[in-house]
Amino acid sequence: MRFFIDLSYKGAAYHGWQNQPNATTVQEVLEHAISTLLGEAIKIVGAGRTDTGVHALQMIAHFNYDENIDAEQLVYKLNAFLPPDISIRSVKQVNVEAHARFDALSRAYKYYVHQKKDPFKIDSSYYFKPDLDIDKMNHASNLLLGHKNFKCFSRTHTDVKTYNCDVKTAIWERNGDHLVFTIEADRFLRNMVRAIVGTMLEIGQGKMTEKEFRSVLDSQDRSKAGPSAPAHGLFLTRIDYPESKLMP
């Protein structure tokens, strides 16, 4: 049988989601917890990977287990076993062929920026003091919606078959001295959102024009785009699936 786990985590203490040698990751900690509680080695497959320091309001992962599970009781035990910065929201049985990564229709991220120093946002928002023109940033964001190849925002030397992504939403919103960038797409490349945000901040300061931004998009060259924004302002917020894939 296959089960989906819906979880949240604060990424500050982890080297991202995906297992890697000599580094603590969310996947590693979760696999250890669920393997201990179920009494056998359990491998977990996530909907994607988040980089070191990136947070998730929602991550979906799946695992296989041959016995019936009391989902409510497993959620309770996992939350008691796991550290405070990882929280399980639900465990539910799904179609045995459902895949947390390949069946996802879309993923959504939010990036948070604050422009007045705030000690309570140190780990969850990027303090960026320079004035920003949000209208210019949104004009540039609109260009992402019709674009396909995002190699210019991808980490170099990455092992992907295509750099194409279908961006469905990209918008900046301001609330006083706080800014939020929301972006949704069918898939994302490694470092893509942070590279987009860093480039948008260049545009907001007047250091890059919309015409230059078009050239960056067409260049397929990471060195042409702006610097990556820090990881701690980025949150994976939602992953959507077709209902037909989830029915057991």
CB 56 within 8 A of CB 87: no
Last residue of a domain, one of 78, 103, 128: 103
**pLDDT at residue 241 is higher than 90:** yes
Checking phi first, is residue 34 left (phi over 0); if not, alpha (psi -120 to 50) or beta? alpha
Give pLDDT, residue 243: 87
DSSP state of 28: H
How do residues 17-33 score in pLDDT, each as one tens digit?
999 888 999 999 999 99
Residue 244 inside a domain? The answer is no
Chosen domain end from 103, 137, 165: 103
For residues 189-200, average pLDDT: 96
Per-residue pLDDT at 245: 75
The one-character DSSP state at 164 is B
- Tell me which residue range forms the domain holding 92: 2-103
Q: What is the pLDDT of residue 4?
A: 97
Q: In residues, how long is the chain?
A: 248
Residues 140 and 90 in one domain: no
Whether the per-residue pLDDT at 155 is higher than 90: the answer is: no
Mean local confidence (pLDDT), 34-62:
96
Q: Is residue 248 part of a domain?
A: no
* Pairing mode, strands 2-9 and 167-175: unpaired
Same domain? 56 vs 90: yes
pLDDT given for residue 156 in this prediction: 79
Q: Are residues 79 and 138 in the same domain?
A: no
pLDDT at 106 over 90: yes
How many domains are contained in the chain?
Answer: 2
Q: Which one, of 65, 89, 86, lies nearest residue 76 by Cα?
A: 89
The pLDDT score that the predictor gives to residue 8 is 98
Catalytically active residues are 51
Say if residue 159's pLDDT is above 80: no
First to last CA, the chain: 9
* Backbone torsions φ then ψ of 79, nearest 5 degrees: -65, -30
Q: Which CATH number do you get for residue 152? A: 3.30.70.660
Determine how many CB atoms are found less than 10 A away from the CB of residue 123.
Answer: 13
Query: Where does residue 195 rank: exposed (0-12), middle (13-18), buried (19+ CB within 10 A)?
Result: buried
Whether residues 164 and 226 fall in one domain: yes
Residue 47 belongs to domain with CATH number: 3.30.70.580
Q: Please check whether residues 86 and 181 belong to one and the same domain.
A: no
